Copies of this chain bind each other. A is one copy, B any other.
């Protein structure tokens, strides 16, 4: 079995991605629980606005790591994406107000208000929030488990450093030119050179470039990605798409987690309900074969749908069914 199963290979950061509702938080909590039980100091970070980590452990968490009652070595925190987005906008506003005139600020505010509700803004704020956790909160932990993973346009942000690099170089060149002109007009004034060094726009761009460089490097060298999906066609198709997006960014998906599989009825059950379940189980089995044969990352877990909430003993059950090294 050892050669077959996927492992997180000791990476510090483990991401469980997938569409909303597939059960990323449950799987993340189960995995984090198992890591902690195996002796790794573990932090589970949730970005689920429904606070399901609090539900799983029956304990309220906030935006700072807090230890989980009854599970040694496990901490949890919840990031509220709406809060993060607001903070993100406020930061942009603040840093702008230092850089441009008051008239420009009101114009830009209007633009920001319009962009606020776009899906891109939400994803971008979320990405910032979890890169922040990676930079500032991860130090005491062997494992940091996220119940989300970047996809689509967010993954594309990892290409930003290069783009920003060009832009910064060009901006620096233009600034230099205008400062040279300025100096020719006012010889002996040391002010312009100082302006170049402390330029807040360029400073901000440099910061962002470093931020995305850190994110890209860490995700390539010290992170493992798993994708959670449900056995319906839409979820399978989305998983195919996500695998492609990761591959395009040189990030490898380590394994796939099939969640919410329909349970089989007992062998002696007949009747309408049993027939319905058997047909459903059959269809899902076909779909899983399709995933096993057609997709590159291995299927590392098949977790049955439960009518009760996943917590306590059930969490240990789910954890045991994950064929992923803690």
Contact = CB atoms under 8 A, between A and B. Distances in A.
Identical subunits present: 2
Interface string A266-280: 101111111011011
A50 interface: yes
A117 B153 contact: yes
Contacts of A119: 118-120, 123, 152-153
A263 B272 contact: yes
Instruction: Classify the secondary structure of A's interface with B.
Output: helix
A178 to B, nearest CB: 19
A264 B275 CA distance: 11
A265 interface: yes
Nearest to A262: B276
A230 to B, nearest CB: 9
A234 interface: yes
A232 B50 CA distance: 13
A21 interface: yes
Contact of A274 (B117, B152, B274): B274
Given A119-B118, A120-B118, A273 B266 contact: yes
B264 A273 contact: yes
A117 B245 CA distance: 11
Interface in A85-120: 114, 117-120
A307 interface: yes
Contacts of A117: 152-153, 156
Given A21-B232, A119-B119, A274 B273 contact: yes
A237 interface: yes
A232 B266 CA distance: 25
Interface in A287-326: 305, 307
Contacts of A235: 21
Interface string A150-178: 00110010000001000000000000000
Contacts of A221: none
Contact of A279 (B50, B264, B269, B307): B307
A158 to B, nearest CB: 13
A67 interface: no
Contacts of A307: 276, 279-280, 283
A10 interface: no
A200 interface: no
Contacts of A234: 20-21, 50
A209 to B, nearest CB: 15
A269 B272 contact: yes
Interface string A183-216: 0000000000000000000000000000000000
A141 to B, nearest CB: 29
Nearest to A260: B232
User: Could you say which of A263, A264, A307 has the most chain B C-beta atoms within 10 Å of its C-beta?
Assistant: A307
11 contacts: A118-B153, A119-B120, A119-B152, A263-B273, A265-B272, A265-B274, A269-B272, A269-B273, A273-B273, A273-B277, A274-B274
